[in-house]
Amino acid sequence: MEVNYDCLQDLQTGLEVLGLSLNPEGMQRLQKYAQLIHKWNRVYNLTAVRSFEGIISRHILDSLTVVKYIENNTRVIDIGSGAGLPGIPLAILRDDIIVALAECNGRKAAFLRQVISDLGLSNVGVVNSRIEDFKPNKKFDVSVSRAFSSLKNLVELSLPLLNDDGYILAMKGMYPSAELDEIDYDYEVFDLQVFEDDADRHLVMVEVNSCEED
């Protein structure tokens, strides 16, 4: 597939807006990842976004807005990963973290394995099972999810998978007032901003050691 130069420029500018930098190999991986989503979208039903430009701005750059909230040398599980978002962009940018992509859909899981192989990502694996049934040999430091279920459900699913000092990162669109009212846990909410995208973006962070109901 031919490279769209303007999209690459948007990718570079978007990273700069986020205060991020990436070496040439990483840039090539992000570019190829966007191309793979674009190429296989119709076959695997990965996303409603059809344009290469939209995949970069609304998916890849959007995923990278949370990278600064992930500490060094952590184990991350991306719940409901779908096309690998946000897990794969995070793993490309941060080779110090280990990422597990949890996706119960077999076709999407097959796509994720192909992406990992094509991009040569040694710090990423796929969990093809219902998250309720997954029993990791080693627990994770961070649970991250992008538009997956309700916040209450995400917290309940994440807690058995995380270390005692772990935390949950839930990526949301509009400020999730109703969802926050449903949980009895301590949380912080951060505004997220993506290059050339004015849609509301928010991140909810929940500390595991605060996840004790009154």
Question: What is the domain extent for residue 107?
Answer: 5-210
Strand order in the sheet with 140-146: 124-127, 98-102, 75-79, 140-146, 162-172, 202-207, 187-191
**What is the reported pLDDT for 142?**
98
Phi, psi dihedrals of residue 17, rounded to the nearest 5°: -60, -35
Measured from the Cβ of residue 191, the count of other Cβ atoms closer than 10 Å reads 10
Q: Mean pLDDT, 10 residues at a time, over the chain (214 residues)?
A: 60 91 92 92 85 86 95 96 96 97 95 97 97 96 92 95 95 94 92 78 89 53
Count of domains in the chain?
Answer: 1
Lookup result for tokens 């009895």: 184
Termini Cα distance of the chain: 55
Could you give the angle at which helices 24-44 and 106-119 cross, rounded to 10 degrees? 150
Pairing of strands 187-191, 75-79: unpaired
Residues 6+ apart with CB under 8 A from 3: 31, 35
The pTM of the full predicted model, rounded to 2 decimals, is: 0.93
What is the domain-level CATH number for residue 75? 3.40.50.150
